[in-house]
Structure 1
């Protein structure tokens, strides 16, 4: 109730154990805390907080316009309501090496279980768009090393994302990933893979855990859980899925109300008040309240 009873340290330790289990961990994206609660109640392994989703929620495109304060407040609000580990997107780190170090310390303190940082030039762009520009390997290595050195909990998962597949080719992307591992990355996130052979090549070349991004309408085919497990991947994110589902439903509903003048015909598309209260554990709050205020003055 209110916030999770499970400590951030325990979440991070359990997350590390789960990564070593050999099974693929599924992390759907949450665009608010209530979605994170649903993710846990549905039985997933963890929660992901997308930089694109946080930007979109502010009415902004995913081009690096958000600040550390904005995204850390959003992500911490999501992380605190669930027993699951929460990892988040920090884009290019909100600055250079000292800013990256500060970011990791802030997120650790706020209860996140990990984050990923990418090797694009800021302002960045969505990983599945063309014409991305990358920083030098040495510049990214400095950021990864700063992030690794800033960790106050060894179980905080530092994920290095490379966007080099589209910009420089597969071999260059793998070489970058190896350099990032040497600099202290705990996991590699190869972005915008073209096909299964790309995923397979990364698995053969990289010894640390790997993250797969199954975002809709992107460059990668939407691989199933079993396909990713067979490819040897450790974690999969579905970053924008819940926001896309919600926005389509909202748009359709608004159009119906505008056209018909009432929402009567779309009630079946809505989460009921009863179900909302179940998700939020409304009765538990009522019982707790009653247990406190059961005396006479």
Structure 2
């Protein structure tokens, strides 16, 4: 199989878990795990790891937790293989995997099923988009609890009305301050009283005003979220003002061609963002590559064999046959 050039991940994170002994393969043993940055009644290894990564990127101009958003088990595994430290399942990406726009079509149970699919494929922390929480604050609480049980290390909850919209498209609106606060309180309560999970609070209230967005953010911060996301900040100056005022870990959201100025991850780190998501990138790549390949296939039909996109061995390994065959060999038995 031809060797692939893998670009190294550009930011170094020191976060690691400390285990005082190796588990014995044939008998039980006592192991002590030291987890930093734990919240919640029931600690979570991956939630603590995720929170530590965000905090390490916070106010450090030399690094930022930068990641594309994925949409299924294979894309998430490829994100991990490429060296990214976390996976983020955005609502936009997951909706695209159903052939749908990000307009509230995907329900909580479908997200939980996708989440379990992704968690089975990767070893890095997985964040999942909880949208509006799919109903009342009680639904928000159930969503956060369900995501944690399904294996999510983090969850994002927002203040849009339902059906929610991709934050860079038309037609979105937000609920009242009071409802937004109740949602975030329910999310934090689910974390504090149950299994630990990183809570990212999102507001789309810039559609009203910057002052409204900052008022909501201040209350989200007081309630006890782990990080803040103000959607659709237009330019560098607005981003800098927001980071300075919020003064806690913040997410930047870069959609190529969207409402936010397209800055590099390095520039966003220098502005003070702890993390940056790229939800558009893999969906755009999927659309382009499949469309281009279909056209190429049609052109080849009357002139010769179709183009070789990847070698047979590369496809076989990429979808997991090699690992499966290794395990199959391990479990061989005679009748």
Q: TM-score, length-normalised on structure 1?
A: 0.90
Instruction: Indicate which of 170, 188, 202 corresponds to 1:161.
Output: 202
Unmatched 5+ stretches in structure 2: 1-42, 58-62
Partner of 1:202: 242
Q: Deviations over 1:187-225 (max 9, x none)?
A: 111101100111111111113210111122211122111
- Whether the 8 Å contact between 1:120 and 1:163 is mirrored in structure 2 is yes
| TM-aligned CA deviation for residue 21 of structure 1 | 1.6
- Greater Rg by CA: 2
Partner of 1:277: 316
- Whether the 8 Å contact between 1:170 and 1:198 is mirrored in structure 2 is no
| TM-aligned CA deviation for residue 280 of structure 1 | 4.7
Pair 1:29 & 2:69 matched? yes
Instruction: Indicate which of 13, 24, 30 corresponds to 2:48.
Output: 13
Pair 1:183 & 2:223 matched? yes
Q: CA RMSD in A?
A: 1.9
Give secondary structure in 1 for the equivalent of 2:56.
coil
Instruction: Indicate which of 255, 259, 271 corresponds to 1:231.
Output: 271
Q: Deviations over 1:206-261 (max 9, x none)?
A: 13210111122211122111101101111111113112101111111112223442
Distance 1:65 1:288 in 2: 38
Give secondary structure in 2 for the equivalent of 1:109.
helix
| TM-aligned CA deviation for residue 46 of structure 1 | 0.7
Pair 1:290 & 2:329 matched? yes
Give secondary structure in 2 for the equivalent of 1:255.
helix
Instruction: Indicate which of 241, 251, 254 corresponds to 1:214.
Output: 254
Distance 2:79 2:131 in 1: 23
Distance 2:53 2:173 in 1: 34
Distance 1:284 1:62 in 2: 34
Distance 1:131 1:283 in 2: 46
- Whether the 8 Å contact between 1:37 and 1:279 is mirrored in structure 2 is no
| TM-aligned CA deviation for residue 161 of structure 1 | 0.7
Give secondary structure in 1 for the equivalent of 2:104.
coil
Distance 1:196 1:234, change over 3 A: same
- Whether the 8 Å contact between 1:76 and 1:110 is mirrored in structure 2 is yes
Partner of 2:116: 76
Instruction: Indicate which of 120, 128, 140 corresponds to 1:88.
Output: 128
Q: How many residues align?
A: 285
Instruction: Indicate which of 116, 123, 129 corresponds to 2:163.
Output: 123
Q: Deviations over 1:69-110 (max 9, x none)?
A: 111111221122111111121211111111111000100001
User: Higher helix share goes to which structure?
Assistant: 1
Distance 1:176 1:258, change over 3 A: same
Distance 2:318 2:298 in 1: 30
| TM-aligned CA deviation for residue 47 of structure 1 | 0.8
Distance 1:212 1:261 in 2: 45
